[in-house]
Amino acid sequence: MKRILVVEDNDLNRKLFCDVLVANGFSVEPVADGESALGRATDFVPNLIIMDIQLPNISGLDLIARIKRDAMLRNIPVLAVTAYAGKGDEERIREAGAEGYLAKPVSIGPFMNAVRGLLDGRTQDAAA
C-alpha cells in the first residue's frame, strides 16, 4: 500500500485530501504543521508528500527545499497545493523542488490524476 504524507494546516482541506486518498486505497499520515512535517516524513517514509505552500511557522517552499536536501527524503515526490496561484508561483514552487503543482480549489479528478502520476514517476502540473 502506497503511503502519502499530507501537510495541510486547514482542517477541512486536510480531512478532504485524507478521505479521498484513503477511499482510493492509500495509507495516509496527516500533518497540520510544517514544523513537524520533516520528522513525520522521516518516521513514515511516504511514497508521496502532498504539501500546502501557505503554512504557519515555515513556508512550504522552504520545507520543500529542506526535503530535497535530506538524503533520505530527497527522492520522494512532492505535490504542492496552493490557493495563491499567481504569476510565477508555479515556477518558484518547481524551482524549490516540487514535482507536481495544483491550484486550490482542487477538484478530485485532477487531484487523483496528479497523485497517481507522481506515484508512477511522472511529473504533473495544473493542466493535468
Residue 26 lies in a domain: yes
Instruction: Tally the domains of the chain.
Output: 1
Q: Is the pLDDT of residue 56 over 60?
A: yes
Residue 94 lies in a domain: yes
In this structure, what CATH number is given to the domain that contains residue 107? 3.40.50.2300
pTM as predicted: 0.92
- Residue-range definition of the domain harbouring residue 111: 3-119
Query: Could you give the strand order of the β-sheet that contains 48-52, starting from the edge strand earlier in sequence?
Result: 27-31, 3-7, 48-52, 78-82, 100-103
Sorting pLDDT into bands at 50, 70 and 90, what band is 127?
very low
3-state secondary structure 23-91: HCCCEEEEECCHHHHHHHHHHHCCCEEEEECCCCCCCHHHHHHHHHHCCCCCCCCEEEEECCCCCCHHH
Residue 37 lies in a domain: yes
Residue 126 lies in a domain: no
Residue 125 lies in a domain: no
Phi, psi values for residue 9, rounded to 5°: -80, -20
Residue 24 lies in a domain: yes
Q: Is the pLDDT of residue 123 over 80?
A: no
pLDDT score at 95: 94
pLDDT tens for 7-18 read 999 999 999 999
Compute CA 10 distance to the chain's CA centroid, rounded to the nearest angstrom.
14
Q: What is the distance between the alpha carbons of residues 6 and 3, in angstroms, rounded to a whole number?
A: 10
When pLDDT is averaged across residues 86-112 and rounded to a whole number, the result is: 92
Residue 95 lies in a domain: yes
pLDDT tens for 24-46 read 999 999 999 988 999 999 999 99
